[in-house]
Amino acid sequence: MLKSMTGFARTERATAAGLIAWEIRSVNHRYLEVSLRLPEELRASEAEFRRAIAAVARRGKVDASFYVRPGPAAGRDLSIDEDLLDRLVEQANALRRRLGSEGRIDAVDLLRWPGVVKEAERDTAPLAAAAMGLLAETLAAFTTSRAAEGERIAQMLGIRASQVRTIVHEVSTRLPDVQSRIRAKMQERLAVLGADANPDRLEQEIALLVQKMDVAEELDRIKSHVEELGMTLAADEAVGRKLDFLMQEFNREANTLSSKSQDVETTRKAVELKVLIEQMREQIQNVE
């Protein structure tokens, strides 16, 4: 199944720690690049989160953010360093005696002193476990999002491949007529010049000219590429790079077809081919 590198998912869950949420979005990128935004208490779990994301996304620039909105019951226990506070009060009183009324003590300022108020250490394991469980759920939705976009791209590529196949058939059908007209045009030019030519030599030259302008080989290769495209789209793996290479091969054959063409209609069909190939190439830039 084809997957797009573009996707989005967001999930939320109420926990004892409050409301937690994951938000994941991605865009196309040459390689996998994961950017994580986490609260400090979950930094120890960052590597585990990255591994989970890498298990479902092989290419793309992925931005994943985890949010915690503490609930009413998720208050934090605070404690005061009594020894430090006593020393600060002693120094503050000494300063007040020296400065008189100018040196009044502000209790709030004392509490703001670094280290006076301490936050009780919390067990982050429950939060980390909840975050990992919610991440799995979010990644499932994220994968579904990318698969849906990939299906849309696959359908578009299938339609364009069918149009390419039609053009190849139309050009192939015209080949005998084109070759006959090339032969007739060369004989007509010789007649206008009034030149006498050895019939055998003339036939050899005409055959060489027709061979030089023959595009049957290019058409066969384009048909082969269309078949390869169909098999690649059906593969259950990351095929973005392979498809990109295949588009280069398509484009090479279309350019050769255009340069060899001595027929206005064939040249027009070559231009149509290039347009279809460019449309496919643009979409393939988003394929994982």
Which residue ranges make up each domain of the chain? Answer: 78-119, 149-284
pLDDT the model gives residue 278: 96
Of residues 46 and 207, the one with the higher pLDDT is 46
Residue 27 scores a pLDDT above 90? yes
How much of the chain exceeds pLDDT 70, in percent? Answer: 83
Question: How confident is the model over 80-130, as pLDDT tens digits?
Answer: 777 877 787 887 787 777 777 665 667 777 777 787 776 656 667 889 999
Question: How confident is the model over 200-236, as pLDDT tens digits?
Answer: 666 666 666 666 667 888 899 999 999 999 999 988 8
Q: What is the pTM of this model?
A: 0.71
* C-alpha span between 122 and 44 (Å, rounded): 14
Residue 78 scores a pLDDT above 70? no
Average pLDDT, the chain: 85
When mean pLDDT is compared across 34-43, 53-62, 97-106, the lowest value belongs to: 97-106
pLDDT the model gives residue 231: 93
Q: Domain 149-284: which topology? A: Butyryl-CoA Dehydrogenase, subunit A; domain 3 (1.20.140)
